[in-house]
Amino acid sequence: MTAEAIPDSWRDALDPVLAAPEARRLGGWLRSEEESGKQVFPPRGQRLAALAMTPLDKVRVVILGQDPYHGPGQAHGLAFSVRDGVRLPPSLVNIYKELESDLGVHAPPSGNLERWARQGVLLLNNTLTVESGLAGSHAGRGWDAITDACVDAVVKQGLPTVFILWGSHAQKKASRVKGLGAGGHHLVLQSPHPSPLSAHRGFFGSRPFSQANAFLERHGRGTIEWGGEGDKG
């Protein structure tokens, strides 16, 4: 489908959807786009990094975005994250502003969110690839079925989980969480996207980090250390 290795913990959940015609069409389309000379982000081998870094049975929080950053050197497979040394994109600047306001911790010096992923925060975009310079260019090409299956797998585990849905594209998955989450096992937090175009319409002041930790602690799943080195989130 995508020439990506499916992490073992996600294989049972994803194998059926990856065998479907839609996934095969997606794989063929991505290959043709790249063969025609178009630059696709993130590069091959990084498109399922969120799943590789956060095994299914370790997921405590799901943060859903729209699609990867479309600038060179930014996207590396984790929603909203950039590698060490890469300038913070505006959306991540706003996420860190809300983090400081919410928890009173210092914003981390790096935009690399692998430290969140390793604590059980699944950083998943609705669409997992994008053409260079063209936000939303790969929407509707078949990624939805795959990311829907990821969300379904987390919900069906039945472990109390926080779903943080930023922006209208991510919020389309809210019905999946609520429809499958029998017994109210999960917390769904929805707000506008942290982009500068929408952050002031309700993202700022939404306090997702403190709400997530309060829910996790109440259900015996610990808390996430959201801040930088030495901070207690």
CA dist list (Å): 25 to 18, 67, 103, 105, 211:
10, 19, 44, 45, 39
Closest CA to 146 of 165, 127, 169, 120: 127
What are 143's two structure tokens? 């990624």
Residue 12 known to be catalytic: no
**Number of neighbours of residue 207 by Cβ within 10 angstroms:** 16
Q: Which of 8, 12, 57, 67 is catalytic?
A: 67
DSSP letters of 30-75? HHHHHHTT--EESPTT-TTHHHHHS-GGG--EEEEESS---STTT-
Show which residues are catalytic. 67
